[in-house]
A and B are shown apart, each in its own frame.
Chain A
Amino acid sequence: MSRNFTPKVVTANALLKGDAIWLTADDRWSRHIHEAELIEDEAHSQIRLLDAMARPGEAVGAYLADAKLGALGPEPVHFREAFRTRGPGNHPHGKQETA
Chain B
Amino acid sequence: MYHYNDFDRAFLATRNTQFRAQVERRIDGSLTEDEFKPLRLMNGLYLQLHAYMLRVAIPYGTLNSAQMRALAMIAERWDKGYGHFTTRQNIQYNWPELRDVPDMLDALADVGMHAIQTSGNTIRNITADHFAGAAADEVADPRPVAELLRQWSTDHPEFQFLPRKFKIAVTGAEADRAVIRAHDIGIQIRNVDGIIGYRIIIGGGLGRTPMIGQVLADFLPAADLLPYCETIVSVYNLLGRRDNKYKARIKITLHENGIEAIRDLVNERFALIRPQFSGVDQDMLRGIEAQFALPALREGDTSAFEAAKANPTFRAWADTNLATHRHPDYAIVSISLKKHGATPGDATSDQMRIMADLAARFGHDELRISHEQNVILPHVHKSDLPAVHAALKAADLATANIGLISDIIACPGMDYCALATARSIPVAQEIAQRFDDLKLEHEVGPLKIKISGCINACGHHHVGHIGILGLDRAGVENYQITLGGDGTETTVIGERAGPGFAADQIVPAVERLVMAYLDLRRDPAETFIATYRRMGLAPFKAALYPEARADAA
Contacts and interface: CB of A to CB of B under 8 A. Distances in A.
B50 A18 contact: yes
B416 A18 contact: no
Interface stretch (B26-34, B184-192, B248-256, B327-335): B26-34
A45 B160 CA distance: 38
A70 interface: no
B245 to A, nearest CB: 18
In terms of DSSP, what is the predominant structure of the interface of chain A? loop
B475 interface: yes
Interface in A11-25: 13, 15-20
B95 interface: yes
A49 B296 CA distance: 63
Interface residues of A, number: 25
A49 B354 CA distance: 49
A18 B415 contact: no
Contacts of A88: 50, 94, 415-416, 425
B520 interface: no
B459 to A, nearest CB: 15
Contacts of A93: 50, 80, 94-95
Interface in B285-318: none
A79 B27 contact: no
B32 A56 contact: yes
A16 B96 CA distance: 9
Contacts of A95: 50
A13 B98 CA distance: 12
B49 A20 contact: yes
B66 interface: no
B47 A57 contact: no
Contacts of A83: 49-50, 414-415
Interface in B69-94: 80, 82, 94
B47 A84 contact: no
Contact of A89 (B99, B426, B476): B426
Contacts of B125: none
Contacts of B475: 77-79
B435 interface: no
A28 to B, nearest CB: 19
Nearest to A80: B414
A61 interface: yes
A52 B327 CA distance: 63
B19 to A, nearest CB: 16
Contact of A16 (B50, B98, B426, B429): B98
Interface string B412-424: 0011100000010
B50 A19 contact: yes
B97 A16 contact: yes
A16 B24 CA distance: 11
Contacts of A13: 47, 51
A25 B225 CA distance: 61
B545 interface: no
A16 to B, nearest CB: 5
11 contacts: A15-B98, A18-B51, A18-B96, A18-B98, A56-B33, A60-B47, A83-B49, A88-B94, A89-B425, A93-B95, A94-B50
A-B pairs with the 4 shortest C-beta distances?
Answer: A88-B415, A18-B52, A18-B51, A94-B50
